[in-house]
Amino acid sequence: MTRRIAVVGGGIIGSSVAWHLASRNLGDIHLFERDQLGSGTTWHSAGNITWKPVDDNDGPVLYLLDLIAGLEDETGLTSGWRETGRLFLARDADTLESYSAFHEAALERDFPALMLSPQEAAGHHPLLDASALHGAWLNPLSGHLNPADLVALYARSARNLGTHLHEQSRVTELISTGGRMTGLVCNGETLGFDDIVVCGGLWSADLVANHGVKLAQGGCEHFYIILDVDPRLSSTTPSFLSSADMIYGREEVGGVLLGCFDENADLIETSDLPDPFSFSLLDENWDKFAPYFKGAAELFPAFLDAPVRRFVNGPEAFTPDGNPFIGAPDGIDGLWLCTGMNSHGVTISGSSGHIIADMIAGEEPRFSAKPYAPGRFGSMVHDDSWLRKQISDSPSGYYRQVNPHV
Ligand SMILES: Cc1cc2nc3c(=O)[nH]c(=O)nc-3n(C[C@H](O)[C@H](O)[C@H](O)COP(=O)(O)OP(=O)(O)OC[C@H]3O[C@@H](n4cnc5c(N)ncnc54)[C@H](O)[C@@H]3O)c2cc1C
């Protein structure tokens, strides 16, 4: 009998999971999205894809870029991918030394990265002040895309492969019998399924809670602004990050998209969000953003005079160690998790979908899934004050991975 597989949540992750299941012909695939595809966290993502020559990033990013090229060819749609390269900006010698290790690793992998003096770095970005810099690493493979367009690519191709896409389809209950998933309730109708993959992003924990699964993920505010800079940037201007300042940025329609990974991030409970929360944003949070803007303006003085076109503050799911949950939780057969993407969801959408398809096919995952084991926090997950502290610290942890000196 054909295996029936439900994917719950149609963000970048659910749509990739659906495509991977369909492309492997693993069964009759149904994707349920309560509103429109991409309407949760994905639509307002900055869409940066940052390549790094480390095992948990290199393979997934190269795979994603290959996958996108194939899907674009097949569907005639575009993801908006632009390979601009990314400047890793160093304000001091320790930071530059961290980037040198990346540089050596990039060269070993035959990727033409460059270590740059402050003046050379400023030559790659018209707004960068060389006097604020110690040096930089130019990483050639990074760039950005439009996350909503990538959702459309995954979904169009999945549908071409026979996937049933159900929008305006809210799943209110997952059903299990005798320790095995048997179906779900959607818009009041009970539907039978052999496997259910939960890709509900921030809302995944609510979906699995009544099955005894406590997910160690929580929501934080995460934000960027769009600046109307002068001179305008070209579409080929490299994006940048400065780990010491905990900021990143890239060109956006000639202006600058400037974001940060803030310390002690403000927590968000799904119960505090309006329902529905489709294509919605949180209030501007200038108090949190101001110190990061100050650091950015030291590197790019022109930001001080640039009108702010938009402040984008969205909720997003973080975990204590910055890794997602991908795999099967203990205790219920047929339940799979692919959630808690920690601000990398677009970047690891391809590899996450691949891992779930490998697992459902009963094969060894192509990308290591060990760091993503759903049960890795053991009983700590029940300690709410520990969890809240870890989640709040999680966004800024990203820069400590890039640069241990931060
Ligand atoms: C400001 C900001 C900037 C970011 N920048 C980047 C970046 O540069 N690069 C990068 O890789 N990542 C970035 N991210 C992170 C990335 O956007 C997320 O990791 C990713 O979008 C998460 O995708 P998702 O599919 O897990 O969640 P979502 O996009 O939230 O999708 C989950 C979906 O599930 C649906 N759903 C929930 N409950 C139900 C239910 N009961 N029934 C049916 N459907 C349901 C929701 O409606 C939603 O559409 C950024 C995030 C933010 C907030």
Which pLDDT tens digit goes with each residue over 53-102? 988 899 999 999 999 999 999 999 999 999 999 999 999 999 999 999 99
Q: Which atom of ligand 1 is nearest to the CA of 317?
A: 19
Is residue 354's pLDDT more than 60? yes
Smallest Cα–Cα separation from 29: which of 12, 15, 42?
Answer: 15
CATH number of 86-140+219-318: 3.30.9.10
231-254 pLDDT, tens digit each: 999 999 999 999 999 999 999 999
Which of 143, 61, 134 has the alpha carbon at shortest distance from 99? 134
What are the tens digits of pLDDT across the range 380-405? 999 999 999 999 999 998 776 666 55
Predicted confidence at residue 138, as pLDDT, reads 97
Alpha-carbon distance values, 152 to 35, 49, 128, 243 (Å):
14, 17, 35, 32
Per-residue pLDDT, averaged over 141-152, amounts to 97
Residue 282 Cβ contacting ligand 1 at under 6 Å: no
CATH class name, domain 4-73+147-217+320-375: alpha beta
For 30, phi and psi rounded to 5 degrees? -125, 125
> What is residue 12's predicted lDDT score, i.e. its pLDDT?
98
Ligand 1: residue of 193, 204, 316, 337 to mutate (most ligand atoms within 8 A of CB) is: 316
Query: pLDDT tens digit string along 99-134?
Result: 999 999 999 999 999 999 999 999 999 999 999 999
- State the chain's mean pLDDT as an integer: 96
Q: What is the pLDDT of residue 404?
A: 54
Q: Where do the structural domains in the chain lie, given as residue ranges?
A: 4-73+147-217+320-375, 86-140+219-318
Among 203, 225, 281, the mutation site with the greatest number of ligand 1 atoms within 8 A of its Cβ is 203
pLDDT digits (tens, 9 = 90+) for 17-67: 999 999 999 999 999 999 999 999 999 999 999 999 988 899 999 999 999
Ligand 1 atom at minimal distance to the Cα of residue 343: 15
User: What pLDDT was estimated at residue 405?
Assistant: 53
Q: Is the pLDDT of residue 189 over 80?
A: yes
